Amino acid sequence: MTEFFADAEASFNDAKFVFYGYPYDGTACFRKGASKAPDEIRKHSYNFETYLMELGIDLCDVSANDWGNLKITKNQDKNEKSLTELVSKIVDAVKFPIGIGGEHSLTPAAVQAVHSKYPNLSVVILDAHLDFRHEYEGNPKSHATVTRRVSEIVGLDKVRSIGIRSVSQSEISEARAIGLKFIESGWTELREYLTDVIDELDGPVYLSLDMDVIDPAFAPGVGTPEPFGMTPYEVLQTINFFADRIVGFDCVEVCPKYDNGNTSALAARIIRHLIGAVWQSQERFK
């Protein structure tokens, strides 16, 4: 790790938000390079003012800690065990975990830890891909199986996927048959859909942002880019809808070498907005 995420220099004990990096892309199947994203996103986080104009708050008033990157090995099970242990430490201390990937296979291990703290946890996944395969290339822990694994942890009825536009025929047939709820990209009434989700899901929410949910016109540097995606403003709108209930977050699948830093910068700015939105809704007005 080259530097902390901007404005995340509080001690672990004093922090409300705790960052960690997961520099792993061992199951990437199209573009590799997401392992470089945690440090690139950190670097680009210094580009921005601490004042969030859209929220009217200053991140100087929000205490955050950057734990650093997990030590990654070639053993995926060992990596995920370390990840779960770290996220458990964060949530058991009543702090908010922010995972920076790395590939999307980060999410199930993090959700497992947060679910242990919050048994009624729901998971909202922003992703271009349904990721509902049983396994991919012989690996049940592939980035292409994330939604399946998460649904096994929290229950199918507690998962909502948003922004879907890439799926195998067998995946979507099974997903529809067993009742997985998801929304394709390109809808016209996002607010209406999000309002329905809020009504359907009770309790705390874990939010996972796969940056490929955003159209590659805005975020070209991802592992598996898909046209016809969400705009950054739609992502912020989704964050705002759930902000008062989010208890954990990850941002994954940035692949820095495939652009000039714009996707890493966008990821950093979205993360900063999420911190502000969560703090504003959960802490400032208690």
Sheet with 64-69, edge to edge strand ranges: 64-69, 17-22, 96-101, 246-252, 205-210, 122-126, 159-164, 181-184
Annotated binding-site residue? 7: no
Please tell me whether the peptide bond between 163 and the residue prior to it is cis, using omega within 30 degrees of 0.
no
127 vs 106, 225, 231, 252, CA distance in Å? 14, 11, 12, 10
Measured distance CA(69)–CA(126) in Å, rounded: 23
Annotated binding-site residue? 196: no
Cβ proximity of 268 and 45 under 8 Å = yes
Measured distance CA(105)–CA(125) in Å, rounded: 13
Annotated binding-site residue? 212: yes
With 0-12 CB in 10 A as exposed, 13-18 as middle and 19+ as buried, what is 32?
middle
**Residue corresponding to tokens 């770290």:** 86
Annotated binding-site residue? 273: no
The two structure tokens encoding residue 4: 């902390």
- Using the Cα atoms of residue 209, residue 212, residue 213 and residue 216 in order, give the sign of their dihedral: positive
Annotated binding-site residue? 210: yes
Annotated binding-site residue? 92: no
Binding residues: 104, 127, 129, 131, 210, 212
Binding residues for Mn(2+): 104, 127, 129, 131, 210, 212
